[in-house]
Structure formats: C-alpha cells, structure tokens
Amino acid sequence: MKAMAVYTPAPIETDPLRAIELPDPEPGPHEILVRIKTCGVCRTDLHVAEGDLPPRHPRIVPGHEIVGAVERCGPGCTRFTVAGTRVGVAWLRETCGQCAYCRRGRENLCLGARFTGYDHDGGYAEFVVVREDFAYAIPDGLGDEAAAPLLCAGIIGFRAIKRAEIRPGATVGLYGFGGSAHIAIQVLKHWRCRVFVMSRGGRHQELAEALGADWIGPADAPPPHKLDAAILFAPAGELVPPALEALDRGGILAVAGIYLSPVPELDYERHLFYERELRSVTANTRADGEEFLKIAAEIPVRTHTLGMRLDEANRALNMLKHDELKGAAVLHVG
C-alpha cells in the first residue's frame, strides 16, 4: 500500500514525511481492516512529524482522523462484519480495559493506552487496522471529507467542553481558532452560549465571525466580559495567564492540546484565586466520541475543509503550522 511515513522527525519545512510502499496490514483477532477514504490533518500529526512527541518507533505513519470502509474482518469480529460499512478511526486505538482508570470509565488515562499514528501506523496510507471496539460508526449524512476532522478535532473539542463544565447559555472564551475550535463553536452556539474568540491571524478570525462568534479579538486580548469557562486550543503556554485572568469566579480553563509550550509563572491572586481552575485534556474516552458524533449529526456540524492528495501531506502540515488553513486539511486517499 502507499503511505506517507516519518523516519527522522524534523521541521516540517524540510518535508520529513516520505512516500513509501508498505505491505497491506492484516487484521488480527477482533480487528478490522479499513480501506481509508480520507484522513484529517491534525496538529498532533505535526508534533509527531517534528518530534515534539518523542518517536516510539524507527518509522511511523501518522494520521488519526480516519474515515474509511470495512475491507475485511479478523477472527472473532461481531460488530462491523459487513464489508463496505463506513467507520472512523481516532487517536485512542486501544486500552488495557482492566486498570483502575478503565474500570472507572476514564480509559483516556490508561497507562497501557496506545494511539493511532503514534504507537501504531495511522491514516496517511491506503489501509489501517484497528480493534473493532475502538472504531466508530459514521452517522449518515456526514460525507467522508466532512467527517474526518470530527474524529479528533471534534471529539477533543467536545472533551474540552466537558472538562470546562460548560453549560447551555454560558459565556465562553476560545483561545486559538483552528480545526478544533471551529467545530466546538458550533456545539456552543447550538447551546445558546455567548462565545468570545481570541485568535491571531485573519483567516481564523474571519471563520470565527462566519460561525457566529459574539466578539473577536487578538490572542492575548481581554474579552469584553468575564468568562464562565474558557478553552485554550492554541499550543501557546503564554496564553494561560491571560485566559485565567479573564475567568469569572469559579471559572474553568481547559487546555485542549496534547502539547503546550512552557507556561509562564502564575500569580495566585490574579490567576487562580476565587476558585478559578486550570485543567488539562488528555485524549478522550470512546463514550466521548459516541456522544459527540451523535450531537454532531443532530446539529448538524459543518466542517470547513481543504481537500488535498495523500502525497501533499508535508504541504498540509506546513500550512497548518503557519496558520494558512481556514478550518482543517483533509487528505484524500481512496
């Protein structure tokens, strides 16, 4: 099969992804082989390509916003047994199912968790294998390109909404406005929230305005009113202090990225007193994914995407790094 792989992480400007041929993967017990149609381009893929996430293998195929069709089932499969069934594959690929975190419904914290496009080859390829219990059914009405960003950008944004304990009608701040935020705002506006967007870059601000943001300003600007909650989507630790300072009493800031640059020193009274909270977001549970995809189909969420070829993966990640995307890039594979 054709694939784009990282052997030696390096700045994306040097094109670290290489076009290669690999044997088609074989599904093991309780696994399905998925013929990939589209794969979204996520900032986590950029961190894998550039080495912000330390390599775990000599060679890895990135990509974890995968939409495809069941090609073949391994022994023991019972969930997706009909060839051609549309499925999605996301970042969380498997957990142990036995540890205290898994038993408490917090499988995203499992010490044995493994991830698509990091521990196992991902979606920048023609095929992928995954345990059938970690695949998602793609709702009818969501096209292959439109659905791809939902598998990570959408699910993680929704997990961040839950971590920030956002309720309908709340006043919410979004710091950074890329692939994940442009999906999250649609959920928040569906819930009649007042949404303030703090973001650099004209493209991001234009998209925020088109999607109904109530106020838009520079990335570190104070919003016009105190926030009940905020989500930091940008991987910029320097935005943590101003975001905390913008919170109302009892407000929560959720950091949605898997990677964050260093956070400056915090002042307890300015940034955390009055029970303001700073929370991280670590992957997601399958329950988060199932809940979000149901909501996304009901709203319905509309993703803003740029379709690109598989061999343009380096270019897509370069555009992502330099804020040249209005929404999300999606690689067309099959």
Q: Are residue 110 and residue 187 in the same domain, yes or no?
A: no
Q: Are residue 168 and residue 139 in the same domain, yes or no?
A: no
Q: Are residue 257 and residue 307 in the same domain, yes or no?
A: no
Residue ranges for the chain with pLDDT beneath 70: none
CATH of the domain at 311: 3.90.180.10
Q: How many domains does the chain divide into?
A: 2
| pLDDT attached to residue 305 | 93
Q: Are residue 86 and residue 111 in the same domain, yes or no?
A: yes
Q: Are residue 289 and residue 276 in the same domain, yes or no?
A: no
Count of beta carbons in the 10 Å neighbourhood of residue 182: 28
Residue 82: name the closest of 74, 91, 90, 73 by CA. 73
Q: Are residue 275 and residue 163 in the same domain, yes or no?
A: yes
| pLDDT attached to residue 334 | 78
pLDDT digit string, tens, across residues 271-323: 999 999 999 999 999 999 999 999 999 999 999 999 999 999 999 999 999 98
Q: Which amino acid is at 56?
A: R
The token pair at 261 is 């640059």
| pLDDT attached to residue 78 | 96
CATH of the domain at 263: 3.40.50.720
Q: Are residue 120 and residue 192 in the same domain, yes or no?
A: no
Query: Which domain covers residue 261, as residue numbers?
Result: 155-280
Q: Are residue 115 and residue 246 in the same domain, yes or no?
A: no
Q: Are residue 227 and residue 135 in the same domain, yes or no?
A: no
Q: Are residue 70 and residue 180 in the same domain, yes or no?
A: no
| pLDDT attached to residue 267 | 97
In this prediction the pTM is 0.90
Q: Are residue 75 and residue 188 in the same domain, yes or no?
A: no
| pLDDT attached to residue 16 | 98
Q: Are residue 234 and residue 119 in the same domain, yes or no?
A: no
Residue pair 247/241 in contact by the 8 Å Cβ criterion: no
